[in-house]
Structure formats: C-alpha cells, structure tokens
Amino acid sequence: MISTNQFKNGAHIEVDGTIYRIMEFQHVKPGKGGAFVRTKLRRAADGSVIEKTFRAGEKFRPVRTETRRVQFLYDSGEHAVFMDVDTFEQTEIASDAAGDDMKWVQPNDTVEILYVDERPSGVQVPSAVDLKIAKTDPGLRGDTASGGGSKPATLETGVEIQVPLFIDEGETVRVDTRSGEYVSRA
C-alpha cells in the first residue's frame, strides 16, 4: 500500500477502482483539525483531470507502471498500431487513448508507450521533434532573425505552427511538443 506521505508527481494510484496519475499534490496542515492532502489527478483511461482531497495517512493500492520503446507503424483510423522494437510484437491503442501527442509522430518514429497494470494506456513523445516544413509563404528580402515577426507554416504531419519569417518550405525545424512552438532550425 502507498500512503499520502509517499505521493510523488507522476506516480499512479487506484482510487475507488479507477487508476489516476498524480499531477500535483500539496500537504496542508491547518491550525485546527487534521492534516490533509490536496491533489490534482489525471484519469488514466480518458485523460480527464479532477481535484480530490484525502486525509493525511490514507492508503491506496499502488499501480505498476512501465514504459516500452515502440515504433509507430500506421494509424488505422480508430487505432494507432505500434511494434515493440525488441520483440517485434504489434500493439494497438485506441486513437482517443493515444491522445493529441500523436500529431507529432510520423510512421517509423520511435516513441514510448506507458503500460499501467500491463495494459497500454498512453503514448509519450519526446519533448522536441524535428519536422520538415511542408507549406509556408516564401520569405521576403530583408527577413532576418532579428527582424521579428512570424508566419504560419504547415508541418509534414499536418500541424500548423508559427515560424520566423526567414524559414522556407523544405527546411527542417525543431518544435516543442508540449507547447507546439518553433524552437530552432534542426
């Protein structure tokens, strides 16, 4: 069993038969009454976030988690299909469970799948990816790095981001997957 004083960000616990990931927690000791722990939890099944308060010392069943490196093969519409790079075993994950992070992944890219109690529950992509610019307006003479300004560009995965004016079609750029912002040329 895991107690509230052993909580860590990113750990998984089971509450009322549902598995949650701890996003944030705060121990609170009011001047009057018993201590408690205020948490922000993300449901592993669908990604919804809830806030819940527990009494200090309350115990929960810890959930076994594991990540495995896999290669993204293709998207069949309702499922994303992956292949384990060690065993060559194929795994399907429902597209809604794979989440928004799949917009940064191309076929043959290597990502990690998070397994919660031996069931695949989500895809973890790198914090930054290098992608080619598929479509953008041409840069104009005088557009420099210090000139400021930005323009929309469509990446090879279909995602639209803002890039500096000097970036042209066909160039490879580094994009932060958490914020969706241009970082640099790759």
What pLDDT, in 10s, does the model give residues 50-78? 899 998 888 888 788 888 889 999 888 78
Q: Which residue has the higher pLDDT, 152 or 122?
A: 152
Q: What pLDDT is attached to residue 51?
A: 92
Query: pTM (2 decimals)?
Result: 0.64
Please say whether the beta carbons of 63 and 55 come within 8 A: no
CATH superfamily of 65-124: Nucleic acid-binding proteins (2.40.50.140)
Q: What mean pLDDT is reported for the chain?
A: 83
What gap in Å lies between CA 81 and CA 90, rounded to an integer? Answer: 7
Fold classified for 128-185: OB fold (Dihydrolipoamide Acetyltransferase, E2P) (2.40.50)
**According to the model, what pLDDT value does residue 141 have?**
58
Q: Is the pLDDT at 171 greater than 70, yes or no?
A: yes
Domain boundaries, the chain: 2-62, 65-124, 128-185
The pLDDT score that the predictor gives to residue 148 is: 66
Helical spans, DSSP H, in 15-171: 95-98
Bigger pLDDT: 156 vs 76: 156
Q: pLDDT digits over 93-147, tens only?
A: 877 777 777 888 888 888 888 887 777 777 878 888 889 998 988 866 555 555 5
Q: Between 3.40.50.10490, 1.10.8.640, 2.30.30.30, 1.10.10.10, what CATH number should domain 2-62 receive?
A: 2.30.30.30
Residue 35 scores a pLDDT above 80: yes
What band does 38 get if pLDDT is binned at 50, 70 and 90? very high
- The answer on pLDDT for 18 being more than 80 is yes
Q: What distance in Å separates the CA atoms of residue 151 and residue 170, rounded to the nearest whole number?
A: 15
At 95, list the tokens: 């597209």
